[in-house]
Amino acid sequence: MKKYHLHLISDSTGGTLNSVVKACLAQFDSVQVEQHFWPLVRTQKQLLTAIEGIRKNPGLILYTLVDEGLAKALAKHCETMNLQGISILHPVIALMSNFFGQVSLAEPGLQHQLNEEYFARMDAVDYALHHDDGLKNDRDLANADVILVGVSRTSKTPTCVYLANRGVKAANVPYVPGIPFPEKILDLKKPMFVGLTAAPERLIDIRRNRLAQLGEIRETDYLDAERVQEEVKQARRFYSKQDWPVIDVTRVGHLQDALKMLIDRGFSGCNLTAPLKEAALSMMQVHDESCLMSGAVNTVVVREGRLHGYNSDGFGFIESLKAQHPKWDGSRVVILGTGGASRGIIASLRGAGAKHFSLVNRTPEKAQKIVKAFSLDADIYKWEQRNDALRNATLVVNCSTLGMVGHPPLSIDLAKLPQTAAVCDIVYRPLMTDLLNQAKRRGHPVIEGLGMLLHQGRLGFALWYGRDPEVSPELYKYMGELAA
């Protein structure tokens, strides 16, 4: 099939141009197109850079340049190269100018102007990310507009992010029964304190789903009905004593209504996390193979009023693996833990050529289901046999939450692991887990979990906006500092 080159030239972010092109291309489903995007073209020098790119891959040129001089220069270049080009905005602007009896401002990106409100919002988002779950010290919390307090799984973090996107500096501090609440935080004068609560049954459901996602199947006090009920009661008494307003989040977040709202309000889509990923699968009208294989949806895309479901776990993992260790060997892959993202990761590894798998899990029956589902050439090991599973391995992947901040450590001895084997951990907090540090000391290539997260975001961005962003070293460094 012939491939056509399409060059999109914008003097701003290109969102307007991309939306128009996306809508038009939907009418040509049998045409193979490679898009070349040239954003923020505002000078003759920047225009010449785009022209050089067009010369290497001649094709159709669509542009949104409100500056008359640049638009005329581009039109002249199109004529010289004998290529077709069209301005998306000029006909509409000319018509409006004639209708309104006014000359346009000819200023690019006015709809994306970085005003004071924008920077306040970005500052608030950064603040929320750095002050999640009691992070940072009391002095930093003094700058918050709002501090949310609640027991585990009362929607503290998503509420903070929601507020941040509206310019409110929000932090959250967990209420842990039996541990005194920091007096220094209670003495703060500026922030407004709000207590979050939920029905014990709702909290248990959310916690159980979260643990299942992470591959943790043991019943613990975290799920004990009487203990959770007492947690909620203690927290309510504490809020009352402090005379704080209380919000009950039990009925917040009805998934089906929220997904319908994406369509009604014109959103491109959203990301989902536990405990919503499995529930969302049945609500999608179109399923990508990735979510059918993994049994969960973490990326929702709205197209023509329909919900399309994707799972980016496998894509994010394999792209991160290729970026951090291009010469990876999939001859014998050891998977530690078969919960959470493991199904997507196993599917992506198999699709990329991995041959033999050794699945290590506390419940061999669960591992056996995965072997059967993917028709794997595989061995199954009990968790206490994990050190033996490392013999002859070429790649080891930790798919459990062991070693993550706030979780038990991953106790494993790499002595039996061949020296040439690579070690990967999908955990990204901390960036270098105990597993990776042990592997690094032994001289193994290591693959950090942050790369998977960033490449997952890359897929979502491409699905929503039609543009594949780069996971640059600068982005990796910045996100690494946030995760630290």
397 and 335 Cβ atoms separated by less than 8 Å: yes
Q: What is the 3-state secondary structure (H, E, C) of 433-450?
A: CHHHHHHHHCCCCEECCH
CA distances from 356 to 35, 260, 372, 374, 380 (A): 38, 42, 14, 12, 11
In sequence order, the β-bridge partners of residue 64 are 10
How is residue 134 annotated by DSSP?
A: G
Q: In the block, which residue shows the tokens 């203990």?
A: 227
**Cα–Cα nearest to 33, from 17, 41, 22, 49:** 22
In sequence order, the β-bridge partners of residue 177 are none
Q: Is 2 a catalytic residue?
A: no
Cis peptide before 430 (omega within 30 of 0): yes
49 and 70 Cβ atoms separated by less than 8 Å: no
CA–CA dist 444, 442 (Å, integer): 6
Q: Is 189 a catalytic residue?
A: no
Which of 11, 132, 313, 425 is catalytic? The answer is 313
Sort residue 266 into left (φ over 0), alpha (ψ -120 to 50) or beta: left
Which of 29, 277, 329, 468 is catalytic? The answer is 277
CA–CA dist 58, 46 (Å, integer): 18
Q: Who contacts 458 (Cβ-Cβ below 8 Å, separation ≥6)?
A: 316, 319, 468, 469, 471
**What residues are annotated to the active site?**
277, 313
